[in-house]
Amino acid sequence: HIRRRIAEDRSVLIFFENEKILDEFYNSYSGDLGVIPFFIIHAGHHGKVTLLTKEFGRGVDFQSETKVDEKGGIHVIQTFFSVNIKEEIQIKGRTARKDELGSYELILCLEHL
């Protein structure tokens, strides 16, 4: 999923439930995917993968480049079930803002269920 979105010149935001799980993912895949942990200033740039904890799913506006918008907008991946539906709505709301394009996926790891 991530590689396909990057190949499409889109930006990917991946939300994790907590910093421990984010760090595990980063240590496993960072060299392979070219991920950027926590650098919100680069989120929304084409070809960038940004790792975030769920706290960044609320109240943070991610500005996307024109090139990203032309290719379908920011793609958001949530890696956990939200206990509160409002939290999930907020994370989904980090993409497709103000009549712009974007997409969302919920991808879960079996061992975290």
Model confidence at 98, pLDDT cuts 50, 70, 90, reads confident
In the chain, the domains with their CATH numbers are 2-112 (3.40.50.300)
- Beta-carbon count within 10 A of 26 CB: 19
- Beta-carbon count within 10 A of 112 CB: 11
Strand, coil or helix: what is 50?
strand
Q: pLDDT tens-digit profile of 21-80?
A: 988 887 887 666 555 555 566 788 898 888 899 998 988 888 899 999 999 999 999 999
Q: Which two tokens stand for residue 51?
A: 């790792």
